[in-house]
Amino acid sequence: MAGDGDEDRTADVPRSSLRAAAGDRRVWAILAVVAALLVCCCSAAAGTLLAVAGGLFTAN
């Protein structure tokens, strides 16, 4: 029946926690910092491995 208040029940349902987190700028800032640290650490590790490998190949 119209007027019972049940015509729009989706408005009462809270957003999922994942959607709420995706809308928060702090979450994106934290993810950006973690991604930057991960890239820096991986590139440093790769550079170290290349330097060690280069030293092993040039050693007599």
Which two three-digit tokens encode residue 32?
């950006």
Contact status, residue 21 vs residue 27, Cβ threshold 8 Å: yes
Does pLDDT of 5 surpass 60?
Answer: no
- Model confidence band, residue 2 (pLDDT cutoffs 50, 70, 90): low
> Residues 42-53, buried b or exposed e (16+ Cβ, 10 A)?
eeeeeeeeeeee
Contacts of 27 (CB under 8 A, 6+ apart): 21
Q: Return d(Cα 15, Cα 10) in angstroms, integer.
A: 10
Whole-prediction pTM: 0.55
pLDDT tens digits for range 19-59: 887 788 898 999 999 999 999 999 999 999 999 998 888 86
3 state DSSP class of 25: helix
Residue 18 or residue 33, greater confidence:
33
Residue 43 pLDDT: 96
